[in-house]
Amino acid sequence: MVNWEHFKWKYLAALFLAVAFSWSNAQEGDAISGDPSNGESLFNTHCAACHALDKKLIGPALGGVVERLQDEQGLGRDWLHSWIKDNEALRASGDEYAVQVFEDYNQTLMTAFPQLSDQDIDDVLAYTSNPPVVEEVVEETAVASTDESSLPVGALIIGFSVLAALLIWLLVKVNTLVKLSTAEGGELAMEDSQSFAKVFEKNKKLAYAVLGLLGLLVFYGLWVFMIGIGVDKGYQPEQPIYFSHKIHAGEQGIDCQYCHSSAKYGKVSGIPSPNLCMNCHYQIQEYTGDYVEEGKSKQFYTEEMQKIYQSIGFDKDNLTYTGEEEPIEWARIHNMPDFVYFNHAQHVVAGEEAIKNAKGVDQVCYACHGRVDQMDEVQMANDFTMGWCIECHRETEVDMNNEYNKEYYAQLHEKLKQQYGEEATITVDAIGGLECGKCHY
Ligand code: HEC
Ligand code: HEC
Ligand code: HEC
Ligand code: HEC
Ligand code: HEC
Ligand code: HEC
C-alpha cells in the first residue's frame, strides 16, 4: 500500500540522510570518553523504552545527564556507573540522591544493567552528552534501526545520488553538444565534441534508449528503496544463540508470557535474561527431543545450549557459577521509531478478547506477531507501519464488557450508545484509536 503522506516524509528523510551520514561520522571524534554511535545503539536497545534525550518518558530525560548531575548534585561518572549497573543496590547502600530520584518518580523501578561493561556505559553517556546531530532522520530511515543496516542504507543513498548526478550531467552535456553541432556557429565546437555529437546524432534513438533505461533504473531503485524503508516484514536477523521458538513454545508448549512476562504489565514485552533460561537449563543440558529442523542436528542444539552457560558463567560439570559473565546480545527484531507509543498491556490485557475475536487466533500475540510457536527463528510477521495499526483499529470491535474497559470507559460507553444506538458496534477508532496523540509522543 502506498501512503503518500509517508512517502513525502521518507523522500525528505532520504535526502537528508546522505548529509546526516557523513555528518554523524564526523561527530564521533568529539566524544568525551566513549563512542556515541555505539552508545546510541545501546541506548535504543536498553534505555529507549523508558528514556528519551529531550523529554521525560517513564524516567527522566537523559540528554546532558552527566553535566546535569555534576552541576546540580555534584555527582560524577562513578555515580552514574553504579546507578546504571544496579540502581537498587545503590539505593540500598543509602545513597541520598538515588533514594530521592526514586521517590520523585513514584518508586518506578528502573531495570538493572549488570551486563553493561564500563565501556558500554561510557558509550551510552557519550551519546547522551553528544548525540549525532540529525539523529531523528537517521532513526526514521534506518531499517529496524540496527547498526548493520545504517551503513548500507547510507551507502545506497549516496550511490543513487551519485548515479542521478551523473545522469543529469550527461543529459546537460549531450544537450549542449546537440545545440552546438546544429548551431550555425558550429566552428566554435571542439573537434572531438563535434564528432561525439555526430555519433550521437547518428545513433540518436539508441542513445536516448540507453539514457532512458538508465533513468528508469535509477528511479526504480529509489522507489523500491523508499517504499521499503520502515517496512520490515520478514525481517529475521541472525541471533547469537540459535533459540528456537518452535521447540520452546511449540514442542514444549511453554507459555509466551512465561518468558515475555512484562507484556501483561507494561509497555514492553522484553527479552528474558539468561537467569530465566537457567530455571530450566540448569537441568536440561542437552537436547534429546524428537523434533529436529531440516539441516540441524541434536548435536547442534546441544552446542547452542552451551552458549547459555558461557554467557552466565556456569560450570556445568560442578554446577557452580564462575562469575565470568558475558551478555547475550540478542538482535532486536521489532523496533518502533522513538516517536511512536505502543503499549503491550493495552493490547494484551484490555484488548485481548477483542483482538482474538477479530483475528480468529487463540493467542493474542499471534494477531500481531504471527504463529511464533511455529517459527524456528522469529521473523517479523507484519508490516508494523502506521497503516497497519490504523487498519486494525478501524476493524476491531472493542470489548466494552471486560473489567478494564468497564471501569475506564463507563461514561464514554453510555455516550457512544446514545450516539450510535444500543446495538451499534464500537470499534477502536470510536474510543480514540485514530488520534495522533495516542500513538505519538
Ligand atoms: C524500565 C524503565 C527504565 C529503563 C529500561 C531504563 N531506565 Fe533509567 N530510569 C528509569 C526511572 C523510572 C528513573 C527515575 C528513578 C527511579 O524511579 O528509579 C530512571 C533514572 C535514570 C537515571 C537518573 C537520571 C536523573 O536525572 O537522576 C539515569 C542516569 C538513568 N535512568 C539511565 C538509564 C540508562 C543509561 C538506561 C539504559 C541502559 C536506563 N536508564 C534504562 C527507568 C528506566
Ligand atoms: C523459553 C523462553 C521463550 C518463550 C516461551 C517465548 N519466547 Fe519469544 N523470545 C525469547 C527469546 C530468548 C527471544 C530473543 C531471540 C529471538 O529473537 O529469537 C525472543 C524473541 C521474541 C520476539 C522478537 C523480539 C524482538 O526482538 O522484536 C517475539 C515477537 C517473540 N519472542 C514472541 C513470542 C511469542 C508470541 C511466544 C509464544 C508463542 C514466545 N515468544 C515464547 C524467549 C521466549
Ligand atoms: C521452561 C523451561 C525452559 C526455559 C525457561 C528455557 N528453555 Fe531452552 N529448552 C527447554 C527444553 C525443554 C528444551 C528441549 C530439550 C529437549 O527436548 O531435550 C530446550 C532447548 C533449548 C535449546 C536447543 C534447541 C534450540 O532452541 O535451539 C536451546 C539453544 C535453548 N533451549 C536455549 C534457551 C535459552 C537461550 C533460554 C532463555 C532465553 C531458554 N532456552 C529457556 C526448556 C526451557
Ligand atoms: C497489537 C499488536 C501486538 C500484540 C497483540 C502483541 N505485540 Fe508484541 N510487539 C508489537 C509491537 C508494535 C512491537 C514493537 C514495539 C516497539 O518497538 O516499541 C512488539 C514487540 C514485541 C517484542 C520485542 C520487545 C519489545 O517489547 O519491544 C516482544 C518480545 C513481543 N512483542 C512479544 C509479544 C508477546 C509475547 C505477545 C503476546 C503476549 C505480544 N507481543 C503481543 C505488537 C504486538
Ligand atoms: C490486531 C489489532 C491491533 C493492532 C494491529 C494494533 N492495535 Fe492498538 N488497539 C487495538 C485494540 C482492540 C485496542 C482497544 C483496547 C481496549 O479495549 O482498550 C487498541 C488500543 C490502542 C490504543 C489506545 C487507544 C485509546 O483511545 O485508548 C493505542 C494508543 C494503540 N492501540 C496503539 C497502537 C499502535 C501504535 C499500533 C501499531 C504499532 C497498534 N495499536 C496496533 C488493536 C490493535
Ligand atoms: C494507531 C496508532 C497511530 C495513530 C493513531 C497515528 N500514528 Fe502516525 N505512526 C504510527 C506508527 C506505528 C508509525 C511508524 C511507522 C513505521 O515505522 O513504519 C507512525 C509514523 C508516523 C509518521 C512518520 C512517517 C513514517 O512513515 O515514518 C508521521 C509523520 C505520523 N505518523 C503522523 C501521524 C499523524 C499526523 C497522525 C494523526 C492523524 C498519526 N500519525 C496517527 C502510529 C500511529
pLDDT in tens, 133-170: 643 333 333 333 333 333 445 556 666 777 777 887 78
pLDDT of amino acid 139: 35
Cα angle, residue 103 at apex, residues 100 and 105 outer, rounded to 5°: 115
Closest CA to 85 of 120, 112, 65, 49: 112
Query: Cα separation of 191 and 194, whole Å?
Result: 5
State which of 347, 355, 439 you would mutate to test the pocket of ligand 6, scoring each by most atoms of that ligand within 8 A of its C-beta: 439
Residue with grid cell 540441524, as numbered in its chain: 296
Separation of CA 437 and ligand 3 centre (Å): 41
Check pocket membership of 355 for ligand 5, CB cut-off 6 A.
Answer: yes
pLDDT in tens, 200-258: 777 788 888 888 888 888 877 776 666 555 556 778 888 999 999 999 999 999 999 89
State which of 271, 280, 301 you would mutate to test the pocket of ligand 2, scoring each by most atoms of that ligand within 8 A of its C-beta: 271
**Torsion angle of C-alpha atoms 140, 329, 380, 297, degrees rounded to 10:** 160
Check pocket membership of 426 for ligand 5, CB cut-off 6 A.
Answer: no
Check pocket membership of 37 for ligand 5, CB cut-off 6 A.
Answer: no
pLDDT of amino acid 135: 35
CB-based contact 61:48 (threshold 8 Å): no
In this prediction, residues 83-101 reach a mean pLDDT of 93
- Cβ within 8 Å of residue 240, ≥6 positions away: 307, 328, 329, 330, 331
Query: Cα separation of 269 and 2, whole Å?
Result: 30
Check pocket membership of 108 for ligand 1, CB cut-off 6 A.
Answer: yes
**Summary mean pLDDT of the chain:** 79
Check pocket membership of 355 for ligand 4, CB cut-off 6 A.
Answer: yes
pLDDT of amino acid 181: 62
Separation of CA 268 and ligand 6 centre (Å): 19
Closest CA to 265 of 349, 182, 197: 349
Q: What is the CB < 6 Å shell around ligand 2?
A: 239, 243, 245, 248-249, 254, 256, 258-260, 271-272, 330, 332-334, 365, 369, 372-373, 378
Number of neighbouring beta carbons within 10 Å of residue 371:
15
Check pocket membership of 398 for ligand 5, CB cut-off 6 A.
Answer: yes
Question: Please, how many CA atoms are within 13 Å of residue 1, restricted to the half-sphere of its CB?
Answer: 11
What share of the chain in percent tops pLDDT 90? 36
* Burial profile 235-258: b = 16 or more Cβ within 10 angstroms, e = fewer: bebeeebbbbbbbbbbeeeeebee
CB-based contact 84:116 (threshold 8 Å): yes
Separation of CA 386 and ligand 6 centre (Å): 5
**Res. 325: pLDDT tops 60:** yes
Closest residue by Cα to atom 3, ligand 3, is 280
Nine cell digits for residue 312: 552466565
**Res. 7: pLDDT tops 70:** no
Check pocket membership of 364 for ligand 4, CB cut-off 6 A.
Answer: yes
**Res. 29: pLDDT tops 50:** no
Separation of CA 16 and ligand 4 centre (Å): 30
Check pocket membership of 240 for ligand 3, CB cut-off 6 A.
Answer: no
Closest residue by Cα to atom 34, ligand 1, is 47
Check pocket membership of 428 for ligand 5, CB cut-off 6 A.
Answer: yes
